[in-house]
Amino acid sequence: MKRLSEILDKVRGGGRMDRADSKFLLEIDERSYASGLVRAAASSVVRSATDNAAIILGQIGVEVSPCPADCKFCTFGEGHTRFERSKITDEALSQKIHDFCKDGDLYGLYLMTMHTYDVDFYLNTVRKARRLAPPATQIWANIGDTDADVLKEIKKNGVTGIYHVLRLREGADTRLKPENRLKTMRNAIDAGLELYTCIEPIGPEHTNDEIVENLFATLDLGIVQHAAMRRVAVPGSPLFQYGQISELRLAHIVAVVALATARLPKMAYIGTHEPNELSYLAGANIATAESGANPRDVALDTAKGRGRDVADCRKMFFECGFTNLRRGDESNIPLDFGYLVKTRA
Ligand code: SF4
């Protein structure tokens, strides 16, 4: 307990955790009293830095194809997918944006595509989304490895930042090169985009050393958000056989990520995926509602499958004691029972 107290005191006092501290925290059993302390400390550090506010994101899958990255955990990998090539229609895009944004409290809207994608179609979709979404909702990109010139175009057309990750076992469980993943992140920063990243997709087979390695690979790139996501065992995907970690284990990892990133200069919010209450009591304050294609779902429109809607996200945050929702212009909306009634959550 002495080492644990020293680490938590260091972070509370404004210090940064190192790799050894992070590994020490990850080694703690998530069912233990010590894990309860780690999760409570992470929650308190994050909430006190953000006015006890949480943010809701929306994600729309805009293009689907059998994906050449062939990630062994993803429903779109070309070696095992059952999906055909398709693109979102103008009508569907505008309906989904309306559904996500109608109450004016969506912080950011992700437009997600595959590893290789039609750049002109994507830019066109970005322009439409920027026109349709309220000014206080940011537009974000979730795209494959991309060079600096295209990222500059993406920014010019209204995108604030990109979600990009170096996946666990990148290059072994995917056909992508780790160095290209990191290069895209640096390209994004050079293009003036914000960078949001995540440790994903965490399965029971990943060691704490791998998680620490992944965490520290991106810490000094200038990230604005970090997160942890567990791998969903998608039926038909090659890694289905390994199963899943529990939401409690995910919450413990989220807490370690929150503490390890709390003192980075630009860090603002911490994500967990898929949305779950245990992580919202352990430092996470981002929930993503999803619609359209989703790598963790066998339904073509995840809104009819695994995806949560915005009302679910609001209610989860209320139940977990958050008192503000934040818009993309960083203004707060008081999150109370009256607001839930008004927004039909
Ligand atoms: S996770 Fe992304 S890059 Fe990998 S197969 Fe799925 S869509 Fe392609």
Q: Are the C-beta atoms of 253 and 222 separated by less than 8 Å?
A: no
Q: Is the pLDDT of residue 198 over 70?
A: yes
Residue 291, pLDDT score: 73
Lowest-pLDDT choice from 14-23, 251-260, 297-306, 313-322:
297-306
Buried b (16+ CB within 10 A) or exposed e, 11-24: beeeeebeeebbbb
Dist. CA 192–CA 141, nearest whole Å: 13
Query: Ligand 1, residues 59, 65, 70, 71: which to mutate, most atoms within 8 A of Cβ?
Result: 71
Q: In this predicted model, what pLDDT tens digit does every residue of 106-124 receive, in sequence order?
A: 999 999 999 999 999 999 9
Q: In this predicted model, what pLDDT tens digit does every residue of 122-167 receive, in sequence order?
A: 999 999 999 999 999 999 999 999 999 999 999 999 999 999 999 9
Residue 300, pLDDT score: 64
Q: In this predicted model, what pLDDT tens digit does every residue of 61-94 receive, in sequence order?
A: 999 999 999 988 888 888 888 888 899 999 999 9
Mean pLDDT of 221-248: 92
Q: Is the pLDDT of residue 273 over 80?
A: yes
Q: In this predicted model, what pLDDT tens digit does every residue of 169-197 receive, in sequence order?
A: 999 999 999 999 999 999 999 999 999 99
Compute, in angstroms, the gap from residue 162 CA to the centroid of ligand 1.
15
Find out whether the beta carbon of 234 lies less than 6 Å from any atom of ligand 1: no
Determine the atom of ligand 1 nearest the C-alpha atom of 115.
3
Buried b (16+ CB within 10 A) or exposed e, 156-180: ebbbbbbbbbbbbbbeebbbbebee
Give the count of beta carbons closer than 10 Å to the beta carbon of residue 209. 11
Find out whether the beta carbon of 326 lies less than 6 Å from any atom of ligand 1: no
Dist. CA 136–CA 7, nearest whole Å: 38
Compute, in angstroms, the gap from residue 290 CA to the centroid of ligand 1.
16
Residue 103, pLDDT score: 95
Determine the atom of ligand 1 nearest the C-alpha atom of 295.
6
Torsion angles phi and psi, residue 20, rounded to 5: -65, -40
Find out whether the beta carbon of 227 lies less than 6 Å from any atom of ligand 1: no
Question: Taking the model in full, what pTM does it have?
Answer: 0.94
Compute, in angstroms, the gap from residue 175 CA to the centroid of ligand 1.
10
Mean pLDDT of 36-62: 96
Token pair listed for 220: 């000094």
Mean pLDDT of 294-308: 65
- Domains, the chain: 2-342 (3.20.20.70)
**Protein residue with its CA nearest to atom 3 in ligand 1:** 115
**Protein residue with its CA nearest to atom 4 in ligand 1:** 71
Residue whose C-alpha is closest to residue 77's, from 114, 118, 122: 114
Residue 235, pLDDT score: 84
Residues 6+ apart with CB under 8 A from 229: 198, 199, 200, 201, 202, 250, 271, 272, 273, 274
Question: For all residues of the chain together, what is the average pLDDT?
Answer: 94
